[in-house]
Amino acid sequence: MKERERIVVMGVLSVLLLAWLGFLVHRSPRFPGSGIGTAFGIAGAVLMLMPLAYPIVKRIPYFHQRITPYVSMQSWMSLHVYAGIFGPLLAIIHTGHKFDSPLGVVLTAVLLLVVVSGIAVRYLLTYVSRDIKDKLILLQTARGDLDHAWGVIEQAPAELPAGSKAFVFSSGLASLGIGLPASGPAAEVTRIAESVADLEYAIRMDEFFKRWFARALNLHIALSIVFYGLLALHIGAGIYFGLRWLP
């Protein structure tokens, strides 16, 4: 299910980004105010309001206790993701690539940033966290193998060739990239030590990206607040100017 969700979301995101760039070759100034354009706008606005259900159910105990026994948080997250990606697509169609007003331009830009930051939090942060867990397991195993390899060398000193102490010492510096023997017990230590060093470096990089993706969550929340404020202004302006002919 998650794999299917990821494929659908990435596909719609690609269409969304391409649709936004459509203003380079197409503009329809009358479409946003037409019947079909208005229908797209209303449908997009409704879908973009639906993602609010997830944080409400998740963070407000009253709703969480009464709703989650019937509808799981995973289902609410799926609704959050699908509505949060299809709603913006309908909104981009609604624009007709008419980006003339400052409010419309800012609203569209914030909308795209909300979508991109949400996808980064939903998929990239999850992937990096899972990757760190997998690598930590591999690192624990590799360190065990390294201790075993060192034990073999320490328990059989007589079998080592002359100068073996230098080889053993240099094996401990494998993570620094020092040239080492190509065969024998010391070479096995070298190979495992290099694997440990590579895993430790990969984990540090994953942790770096995890910190930045975690910040993307705060950015996503802040942008969402700004977006809904701009959306309210846009809807208000549409109603005011669209119904100004009424007595």
How far is it, in rounded angstroms, from Cα 138 to Cα 132?
10
Query: Are 8 and 75 members of one domain?
Result: yes
The verdict on 26 and 68 lying in the same domain is yes
Do 88 and 154 have their domain in common?
no
Q: Does residue 166 carry a pLDDT above 60? A: no
Regarding whether 158 and 236 lie in a shared domain, the answer is no
Whether residue 23 sits in one domain with residue 82: yes
Per mean pLDDT, which range of 116-120, 153-157, 170-174, 212-216 is the poorest?
170-174
User: Is the backbone of residue 184 left (phi > 0), alpha (psi -120 to 50) or beta?
Assistant: left
Looking at the fold, whether 80 and 141 belong to one and the same domain comes out as: no
Q: Are 112 and 223 contained in the same domain?
A: yes
What average pLDDT does the segment 216-240 reach?
Answer: 89
Are 143 and 234 contained in the same domain?
Answer: no
- CA 99 to chain centroid: 28
Same domain membership, residue 112 and residue 141? no
Nearest Cα to Cα of residue 217 among 153, 122, 145, 89: 122
Per this entry, what is the length of the chain?
A: 247
Could you tell me if residue 129 is inside a domain?
Answer: no
Residue bearing tokens 């080492």: 180
114 and 144, same structural domain?
A: no
Q: Is the pLDDT of residue 165 over 50?
A: no
Q: Is residue 130 part of a domain?
A: no
pLDDT above 70 (res 162): no
In angstroms, what CA-CA distances link 100 with 23, 154, 184, 205?
A: 11, 76, 72, 43
Domain presence at residue 210:
no
- Note whether 87 and 227 are within 8 A (CB): no
How confident is the model over 34-80, as pLDDT tens digits? 888 888 989 999 999 999 999 999 889 999 988 988 999 989 988 99
Is 106 within the bounds of a domain? yes
CB-CB contact of 120 with 213 (8 Å):
yes
pLDDT digits (tens, 9 = 90+) for 132-141: 888 888 888 8
Residue entry with tokens 């997998």: 134
What average pLDDT score do residues 232-247 get?
71
Assigned domain for 173 exists: yes
Residues 92 and 147 in one domain: no
The number of distinct structural domains making up the chain is 2
The total of other beta-carbon atoms located within 10 Å of residue 138's CB is 14
pLDDT of residue 163: 44
**Mean pLDDT of the region 7-32:** 79
Residues 178 and 107 in one domain: no
For 147, the domain range is: 135-203
Query: Is 208 a member of any domain?
Result: no
Separation between Cα atoms, residue 233 and residue 41, nearest integer Å? 14
Q: How confident is the model at residue 180 (pLDDT cuts 50, 70, 90)?
A: very low
Residue 45 forms part of a structural domain = yes
User: What CA–CA distance (Å, rounded) separates 175 from 62?
Assistant: 54
Query: Is 192 part of a structural domain of the chain?
Result: yes
Residue 216 has pLDDT above 90, yes or no: no
pLDDT higher than 70, residue 157: no
pTM, whole model, 2 decimals? 0.69
